[in-house]
């Protein structure tokens, strides 16, 4: 775990400064703490409290409310398996069981080599791609137990992995930095939309269906 | 007669690099903003009122009316305060998956809608609250806002109109409850996301106790096309009380899941036809019209119009138009148990009926799914639901009761079959997508 440097403290202040009321910056500030230290550390809580001039207990109260904030170090890759009803039924339960066995970890646990943290996640708004997995909060769509095992093996061996609808997978800490509001300039990677997102549009194009033409006077 | 599908919001999603400003402008983007800033803010509010646009985040409240509640008399104590627009991009309702693809493919639609809507309510500061668990969506939103600043669509004196607006892309941290508008406000103020008691309503005392409008992504994204094409054009799609086009999201046991943009009032039968029906050799068993918080419907509801009134008449809610389709391989008790576990996990803990009630619901449902317990447990479930419904600050607890009461209404025999057989009569693997592919765990 690296120490919080002056640079990080400056960035925490900078985040707070984006808002009319500094405390609004707390959620992104905690993301920044995770990007630097790998989880929400006691030191990070103290630093946020100092910047915002609130108590450490208030910061800890917020940090413990949200599931993305971790109180133990997270691996390089956070691997989420959606086990909310629809994904669970479509195969998410089988995928999660297979990964627990394959990685020899339970829910919210990290592999011995410190590379992967496995967690079952709630609905991630990609139900038309079920069963869905997330790696460092990037979509991995239409998964099977086999493709899930292959995915985690690739991650563990350090090979390049791309999201099915996003960018090349970065580390969890790098992802947390983007969430803190420090873009990594990779918005142009990946497609505009996956196949399911375009399904209705494809049919409309095929059949020549479109919205009504606006009347001239309205334009 | 309008076409069966009417892509407006999704119309540019297949364009090359649709997420860029260049691509969006090539498709006519930001022309609505140019028109809007030449008119008075109050005129834009009237325009949106006239269009009949209703909130696309679940509740269906008329968007223009919501804007009209913001006090604008600068002499009054409330009207003199700063106003805020907050875009609810915390899409988390199980089954709901429309805002995320919209922001991924065409973030500028949302940015343009945000600017026009902020102008209408005279806000100089807007926030787009995106759930944290969608990294690439955050990247695309951050980029779009940056591009809009560089193009002069954001910042000081937008397009020479004298109007100033700053937009912050704010990222959440994992909490379903923050999709509830007052919990979202607490979260945006850097607190635990817990709902507030109303009144006062956010329109009067919202973010930082100032007048605030909170709208769903799809609602805000619908504003530019209304300004561009007029309220009559918008109203030429949909039904009398449910106007316009909307994104229907089909997922689950359906041949071609995905986003289908159609006029309000289309039926599930029509949508399923387009999507290739349920899986080969299977029958439709139950479905949600608008996420897991909307009571389940069955095959007998295939022909109800999917608009606010039609679905309400059938005893459910249009919600987010998240059509989760389950075929006859699915155990309804298992499905309901899993949703209930979700609500228990996501209950913020503020109100006792929801916090304690969802815990007890899970206990009873677990017992039933295992084939233990007794028929009286069904009455206990209904009794618990009765004690949760309408007794908390927000609708999370109400939502938790929806799958339970509706499933007991339509599938009581299936609950009893668990008891008769001493276990779940279904093969869970048969319901999975790869059961037949020899891909067992």
Q: Where are the domains of chain A?
A: 6-65, 77-170+188-219
Residues B322-342 pLDDT 10s: 999 999 999 999 999 999 999
Residues A34-83 pLDDT 10s: 999 999 999 999 999 999 999 999 999 999 999 999 999 999 999 999 99
B13 vs A86, A97, A198: nearest CB: A198
A77-82 and B166-171: which strand pairing?
A: unpaired
What confidence tier does A158 reach under pLDDT thresholds 50, 70, 90? Answer: very high
Question: Above 50 in pLDDT, residue B441?
Answer: no
Q: Which sequence spans correspond to the domains of chain B?
A: 3-235, 245-327, 332-428
* CATH no., domain A6-65: 1.10.10
Question: Residue A10's pLDDT is what?
Answer: 98
Cα–Cα distance, A147 to B230 (Å, whole number): 48
What confidence tier does A215 reach under pLDDT thresholds 50, 70, 90? Answer: confident
- Chain B positions in Cβ-Cβ contact with residue A184 (cut-off 8 Å): 139
Closest Cα in chain A, distance from residue B432 (Å) = 4
Residues A91-145 pLDDT 10s: 999 999 999 999 999 999 999 999 999 999 999 999 999 999 999 999 999 999 9
Q: What are the contacts of B151-156 at 24+ separation with CB within 8 A?
A: B151/B21, B151/B30, B153/B30, B153/B33, B153/B111, B153/B112, B153/B115, B154/B111, B154/B115
% residues pLDDT > 90 (chain B)? 97
Mean pLDDT for all residues in chain A: 96
Which distant-in-sequence residues (6+ apart) come within 8 Å of A14 by Cβ? none
* CATH no., domain B332-428: 1.20.1440.230
Whether ipTM > 0.85 holds is yes
A192 vs B3, B19, B440: nearest CB: B19
Residues B234-254 pLDDT 10s: 999 999 999 999 999 999 999
What confidence tier does B179 reach under pLDDT thresholds 50, 70, 90? Answer: very high
Cα–Cα distance, A23 to A8 (Å, whole number): 17
Return the residue of B nearest to A87 by Cα: B252
Question: Above 60 in pLDDT, residue B439?
Answer: no
What confidence tier does B436 reach under pLDDT thresholds 50, 70, 90? Answer: low
- Chain B positions in Cβ-Cβ contact with residue A136 (cut-off 8 Å): 135
CB spacing of B96 vs A127 below 8 angstroms: yes
Least Cα distance to B368 among B312, B306, B421, B293 occurs for: B421
- Give every strand in the sheet of B258-263, ordered side by side: B258-263, B245-252, B322-327, B284-288, B297-298
- Chain B positions in Cβ-Cβ contact with residue A91 (cut-off 8 Å): 432-434
Q: Name the CATH topology of A77-170+188-219.
A: Glutaredoxin (3.40.30)
- Chain B positions in Cβ-Cβ contact with residue A200 (cut-off 8 Å): 5, 7, 10, 248, 258-262, 274
Question: Above 60 in pLDDT, residue B360?
Answer: yes
Q: How far is CA A87 from CA A150, B240, B293, B324, in A?
A: 19, 36, 17, 10
Mean pLDDT for all residues in chain B: 96
Tally C-beta pairs within 8 A across A and B: 317
Top-level class of domain B3-235 = alpha beta
B104 vs A165, A188, A207: nearest CB: A165
How many residues does the structure list for chain B? Answer: 441
Identify the helix (H) or strand (E) that includes residue B416.
helix B396-421
Please state the rounded mean pLDDT for residues A161-188.
Answer: 97
* CATH no., domain B245-327: 3.10.20.600
B5 vs A137, A146, A209: nearest CB: A209
% residues pLDDT > 70 (chain B)? 99
Q: How far is CA A109 from CA A103, A112, A113, A191, in A?
A: 10, 9, 12, 32
Please state the rounded mean pLDDT for residues B154-171.
Answer: 98
Cα–Cα distance, B206 to B197 (Å, whole number): 11
């Amino acid at each position: 775990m690296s120490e919080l440097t002056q640079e990080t403290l400056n960035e925490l202040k900078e985040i707070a400064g984006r808002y009319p009321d500094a405390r609004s910056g707390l959620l992104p500030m905690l993301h920044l703490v995770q990007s630097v230290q790998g989880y929400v550390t006691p030191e990070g809580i103290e630093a946020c409290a100092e910047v915002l001039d609130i108590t450490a207990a208030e910061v800890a109260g917020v940090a413990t409310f949200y599931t993305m904030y971790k109180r133990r170090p997270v691996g390089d890759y956070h691997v989420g398996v959606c086990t909310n009803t629809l994904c669970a039924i479509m195969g998410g339960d089988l995928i999660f069981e297979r990964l627990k066995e394959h990685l020899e970890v339970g829910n919210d646990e990290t592999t011995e080599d410190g590379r992967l943290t496995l967690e079952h996640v709630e609905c991630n708004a990609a139900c038309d791609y079920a069963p869905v997995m997330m790696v460092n909060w990037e979509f991995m769509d239409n998964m099977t137990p086999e493709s899930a095992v292959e995915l985690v093996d690739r991650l563990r061996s350090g090979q390049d992995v791309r999201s099915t609808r996003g960018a090349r997978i970065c580390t969890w800490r790098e992802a947390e930095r983007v969430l803190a509001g420090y873009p990594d300039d990779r918005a142009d990677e990946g497609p505009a939309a996956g196949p399911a997102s375009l399904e209705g549009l494809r049919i409309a194009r095929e059949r020549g269906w479109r919205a009504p033409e606006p009347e001239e006077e309205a334009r | 007669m309008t076409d069966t599908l009417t892509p407006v919001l999704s119309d540019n999603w297949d364009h090359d690099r649709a997420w860029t400003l260049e691509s969006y402008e090539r498709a006519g983007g930001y022309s609505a903003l140019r028109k809007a800033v030449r008119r008075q803010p109050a005129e834009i509010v009237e325009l949106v009122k006239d269009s009949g646009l209703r909130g696309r985040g679940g509740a269906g409240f008329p968007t223009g009316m919501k804007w009209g509640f913001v006090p604008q008399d600068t002499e009054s104590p409330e009207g003199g305060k700063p106003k805020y627009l907050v875009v609810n991009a915390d899409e988390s309702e199980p089954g709901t998956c429309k805002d995320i693809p919209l922001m991924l493919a065409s973030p500028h639609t949302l940015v343009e809608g945000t600017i026009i809507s902020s102008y209408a309510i005279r806000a100089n500061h807007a926030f787009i609250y995106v759930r944290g668990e969608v990294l690439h969506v955050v990247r695309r939103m951050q980029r779009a806002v940056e591009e809009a600043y560089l193009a002069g669509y954001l910042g000081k004196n937008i397009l020479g109109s004298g109007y100033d607006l700053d937009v912050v892309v704010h990222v959440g941290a994992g909490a379903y409850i923050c999709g509830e508008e007052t919990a979202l406000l607490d979260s945006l103020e850097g607190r635990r996301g817990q709902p507030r008691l109303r009144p006062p309503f956010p329109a009067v005392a919202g973010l930082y106790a100032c007048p605030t409008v909170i709208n769903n992504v799809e609602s805000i994204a619908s504003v530019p096309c209304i300004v561009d094409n007029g309220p009559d054009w918008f109203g030429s799609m949909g039904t009398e009380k449910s106007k316009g086009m909307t994104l229907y999201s089909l997922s689950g046991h359906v041949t071609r899941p995905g986003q289908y943009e159609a006029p309000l009032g289309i039926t599930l039968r029509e949508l399923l036809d387009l999507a290739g029906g349920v899986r080969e050799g299977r029958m439709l068993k139950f479905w949600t019209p608008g996420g897991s918080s909307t009571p389940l419907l069955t095959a007998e509801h295939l022909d109800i119009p999917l608009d606010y009134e039609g679905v309400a008449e059938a005893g459910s809610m249009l919600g987010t138009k998240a059509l989760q389709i389950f075929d006859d391989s699915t155990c309804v008790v298992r499905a309901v148990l899993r949703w209930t576990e979700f609500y228990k996990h996501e209950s913020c803990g503020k109100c006792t009926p929801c916090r304690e009630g969802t815990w007890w619901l899970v206990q009873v449902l677990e017992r039933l799914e295992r084939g233990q317990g007794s028929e009286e447990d069904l009455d206990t479930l209904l009794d618990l639901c009765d004690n949760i419904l309408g007794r908390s600050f927000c609708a999370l607890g109400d939502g938790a009761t929806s799958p339970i009461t509706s499933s007991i209404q339509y599938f009581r025999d299936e609950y009893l079959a668990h008891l008769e057989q001493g276990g779940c009569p279904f093969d869970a693997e048969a319901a999975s997508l790869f059961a037949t592919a020899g891909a067992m765990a």
